[in-house]
Structure 1
Amino acid sequence: MVKRQIPRPAEILDLMSFKKLDLDPKHRRLAAALTVEDLRRIAARRTPAAAFDYTDGAAEDEISMERSLQAFEDIEFHPSILHDVSEVNTSTQILGGSSAQPFGIAPTGFTRLMQTEGEIAGASAAGAAGIPFTLSTLGTTSIEDVRAANPHGRNWFQLYVMNERETSYGLVERAAQAGFDTLFFTVDTPVAGARLRDTRNGFSIPPQLSLGTVLNAIPRPWWWWDFLTTAKLEFASLSATGGTVGELLNSAMDPSIDFEDLAEIRAMWPGKFAVKGVQTLEDAKKLADLGVDSIVLSNHGGRQLDRAPVPFQLLPQVAREIGQDVEIILDTGIRSGADIVASIALGADFTLIGRAYLYGLMAGGREGVDRTIEILSDQVERTMKLLQVPTLADLTPEHVTQLSRYSRLDQEGSPRLP
């Protein structure tokens, strides 16, 4: 028999503790977000559907995006034991400089449409965290203003080659003059992908008021207030706006670019040179032979060619073949620190986050981006400690197994392992 007694009030009070009430609603919602997916849910509540879906969506049936996310879920970790991980070092060297974490912020277009602080929030948060920030050609903040927001950090510039070549050349010169240390030459966007969510939402640049957008705005007045009371959208390259995102891309991009254009741009650029949008081993080898500083394995977040290769699944083969010759950066599908650690273990030198950063931006502006970086950094450190690896260099392919829910067919139609 358990002996029972009536508790004394003082004993009950000892057990009770109350959190200090936070009167700032932004602080409360960001503190309650423990994962990137939590930030995504907050972003969906606070952002009009057209702007949120532009970020959250992908091309056509969104199969590439779903497969890229699934690939990270389908991994198995293999932890070591009895290694001292009282201290772990998450810093790394990439493209001639340092980063406090093995991830940086990817280039994203039309960012101030997601939340009015846009690239300024991303660049300043990246600088504070000691990680690189990448400005897109289709960014909504000028090269010079990004530099001002992140004067002592690492700024990278992502370049599309435009129909008006002088525009592209001018951007390269401006980025170099502003002290950006790396150029990302993007090769997967000869035309815009069919982003059906945008078409269905009637999403245009700038946003147009309609009955649907007005109704959708009613529970989100703060977004429209920010949009209407802040500076007019500026683009890093486009001199005119008006139309859907696809129409703008198709009018601006040059589908004729080739290796001669790559060589021409590379000759203009004084810093490190990376090629973004590599999706086959053969192209990766060719670029390594040309001596580029880095290749970025990316299917553009699934926003271009649907059913494109999954970069994370392509990574081990590329790393084995050319990992000693060129730095490999992985983009697409990263939503957690565990995804980042798995990528480094399988041969990536660095990773990029795009949607994850934008979810934080939509959830809370600069503070939301800080929260994204904090969540991912904590997850990276915790995963390393649980794998019992004190440095990123200690991660090896033996720490990760890629599982697969499907097998590929060879040219004769027989099943083979991926």
Structure 2
Amino acid sequence: MPVERQLPNPAELRELLSFKKPDLHPRRRRLNAALTIEDLRKIAKRRTPRAAFDYTDGAADAEISLSRARQAFRDIEFHPSILRDVSRVDTSTTVFGGPSSLPFGIAPTGFTRLMQTEGEVAGAGAAGAAGIPFCLSTLGTTSIEDVRAANPTGRNWFQLYVMRERDISFGLVERAARAGFDTLLFTVDTPVAGARLRDKRNGFSIPPQLTASTIANAIPRPWWWWDFLTTAKLEFASLSTTGGTVGELLNSAMDPSISFADLDVIRSIWPGKIVVKGVQSVADSVELAERGVDGIILSNHGGRQLDRAPVPFHLLPSVVREVGPDFEVAVDTGIMHGADIVASIAMGASFTLVGRAYLYGLMGGGRAGVDRMIDILREEIVRTMQLLQVNSLADLTPEHVTQLTRLVPRDSAGRAASTLEAP
């Protein structure tokens, strides 16, 4: 039969033609339009000069480690349950002796106020409001005390590099303890700086240097330069050394002779939890557990140190199996979606850290951008858990995830391995 037609009903037309009231606040409008971390990355790229953006976005050498880490999370197959009541989902957890409302915290990042002038104050404030930990870097651009002031009742962690001048490192540990920071991340993957080629090509340095190229790149981003030129001088809040590229600064400050003896000394003067960050093998994980540290973070420094390093997410199941369920193992590198976090917890991680995602939000909109980053990941975590039909993080198990394999290891003779460890 032919479809019967009629003249449009004016009342129905009015309903169809009702327009959403436009948001005239530019920052709120662009952040509300960001539905993913990748959306925040695109906003950050538009709003930030190339050298600063590339410092965040880039990695070492050919950036293979970072690419593989992100690909590893894409190569996940989830296995949902059915017919579970998931009207309520609990995303809270306990990590390194304290609570977190979500299974991720903000990772330590250096030079942060160069990305956006609110810097660590925005990160610490947003973390405190969300009930998640914030970690300040040794190379941070906000002081230990000012981070505590920005997050007075939340969990603050401090990331420590052991430097050639040991007294500087010891002094930072003591300051963080006095300020009430509860966890120290002892970083072990930076005896020297990785080859940050984007930074070298961009002439990235602290403080930033004005050249014809940087000025030309800044012309369409006057807001960034206005913030930079009208706020406090950009410098390290915990160190007096400035001037030079990132690699030059790291190589002048860090000590390639760092050893387990240094870990023992730091443990003797730090009153809180001590966690070793930058672990990249099962053997080292087991040794650290036997030495009695409070936890480890499987990390290749976001791909910014040794290129072609192990993928932390791939390493996670083997490490958890060997150290046992009572030893806390966190993971970072490559996380761009809440599903990445859910998969990590399912595979045995106690916790995760996000660095680039945080900085994309910061560059995209200061404190409001960091809040939006947390909201995006929270929504993705909750939705993924509901679709997997689990009610809490404790309900996640390795049976919920398969790590699909692209790269197959070969033995010393160049033959493909005949057997692989189960993920």
TM-score range, shorter chain: over 0.9
Deviation at 1:56, TM superposition (A): 0.2
Aligned residue for 1:400? 401
Q: What letter corresponds to residue 200 of structure 2 in structure 1?
A: T
Q: Matched residue of 1:408: which SS?
A: coil
- In structure 1, the partner of 2:351 is 350
Aligned length: 418
Q: Tell me how far apart the structure 2 counterparts of residues 325 and 267 of structure 1 sit (CA, whole Å).
A: 23
Q: How big is the shift at 1:234? A: 3.3
Q: Deviations along 1:351-409, whole A, 9 cap, x unmatched?
A: 00000000000000000000000000000000000000000000000000000112011
Alignment of 1:146-185 (within 5 A): 146-185=147-186
| Equivalent residue number for residue 360 of structure 1 | 361
| Percentage of identical aligned residues | 75
Q: Counterpart of 2:252 in structure 1: which amino acid?
A: S
Report the Cα distance in structure 2 between the residues aligned to 1:30 and 1:325, rounded to whole angstroms: 40
- Give me the whole-angstrom Cα distance separating, in 2, the residues matched to 1:281 and 1:20: 55
Q: CA deviation at 1:323?
A: 3.4
The residue number in structure 2 matching 1:389 is 390
Q: What SS class does the counterpart of residue 314 from structure 2 fall into?
A: helix
1:52 corresponds to: 53
Contact 1:288 1:325 in 2 (8 A): no
Shift of 1:237: 2.8
CA contact (8 A) 2:235 2:242 kept: no
Q: Which runs of 5+ in 1 are unaligned?
A: none
Q: State the one-letter code of the partner of 2:102.
A: Q
Secondary structure, counterpart of 2:374 in structure 1: helix
SS in structure 2 at match of 1:415: coil
Give me the whole-angstrom Cα distance separating, in 2, the residues matched to 1:412 and 1:152: 56
**Which moves more between the two structures, 319-328 or 168-177?**
319-328
CA apart distance, 1:256: 0.5
User: Per-residue deviation at 1:17?
Assistant: 2.7
2:271 counterpart letter in structure 1: P
Using the alignment, how far apart are the partners of 1:85 and 1:330 within structure 2? 26
Q: Does residue 69 of the first structure (1) align with residue 70 of the second (2)? A: yes
- What's the offset of the Cα at 1:157? 0.2
CA RMSD of aligned residues (A): 0.8
Matched, 1:135 2:128: no
1:303 Cα offset (Å): 0.1
Q: Which residue of 2 aligns with 1:297?
A: 298
Output the CA distance in 2 between the equivalents of 1:150 and 1:284. 31
| Structure 1 residue aligned with 2:42 | 41
Q: Is the 8 A contact 2:207 2:235 kept in 1?
A: no
In the other structure, the counterpart of 2:127 is 126
Aligned partners of 1:69 and 1:334 also within 8 Å = yes
CA distance in structure 1 between the partners assigned to 2:20 and 2:186 by the alignment: 49
Describe the SS at the equivalent of 2:220.
coil
Gaps of 5+ in 2: none
For residues 306-317 of structure 1, the aligned pairs below 5 Å read: 306-317=307-318
Give the Cα–Cα distance (whole angstroms) in 2 for the partners of residues 288 and 268 of structure 1.
Answer: 19
Task: Give me the whole-angstrom Cα distance separating, in 2, the residues matched to 1:233 and 1:201.
Answer: 18
Secondary structure of the 1:162 match is: coil
CA distance in structure 2 between the aligned counterparts of 1:146 and 1:118, rounded to whole angstroms: 10
Aligned to 1:212: 213
The answer to whether the 8 Å contact 1:132/1:153 transfers is: yes
What SS does structure 1 have at the residue aligned with 2:244?
Answer: coil
Does 2:267 match 1:266?
yes
Aligned residue in 2 for 1:327: 328
Separation in structure 1 between the aligned mates of residue 237 and residue 217 of structure 2, nearest angstrom: 29
SS in 1 for 2:157: strand
Read off the aligned partner of 2:238 and give its amino acid letter.
Answer: S
SS of equivalent to 1:128: helix
Question: Residue 11 of structure 1: CA displacement?
Answer: 1.5
**Residue identity matched to 2:284:** D
- Secondary structure at the residue paired with 2:35? coil
Residue type of the partner of 2:55?
Y
Counterpart of 2:251 in structure 1 is 250
Q: State the 1:236 CA deviation.
A: 3.4
Contact 1:187 1:278 in 2 (8 A): yes
Asked whether the equivalents of residues 323 and 347 of structure 1 are also in contact (C-alpha less than 8 Å), the reply is: no
Q: Please say if residues 107 and 158 of structure 1, whose CA atoms lie closer than 8 Å, have aligned partners that are also in contact.
A: yes
User: For each residue in 1:321-341, what CA deviation from the matched residue of structure 2 results, as whole angstroms up to 9, or x when unmatched?
Assistant: 113241011010000000000
User: Which deviates further from its counterpart, 130-139 or 228-237?
Assistant: 228-237
Q: Which residue of 1 aligns with 2:289?
A: 288
Where do residues 104-119 of structure 1 align in structure 2 (5 Å cutoff)?
104-119=105-120
Kindly provide the amino acid, as one letter, of the partner of residue 217 in structure 2: N
- For residues 187 and 156 of structure 1, the distance between their equivalents in structure 2, rounded to whole angstroms, comes to 16
Give 1:332's aligned amino acid: T
What is the one-letter code of the residue matched to 1:79? P
Please say if 1:235 is aligned against 2:236. yes
Look up the match of 1:412: 413
Show structure 1 runs of 4+ deviating over 3 A. Answer: none
- Match of 1:189? 190
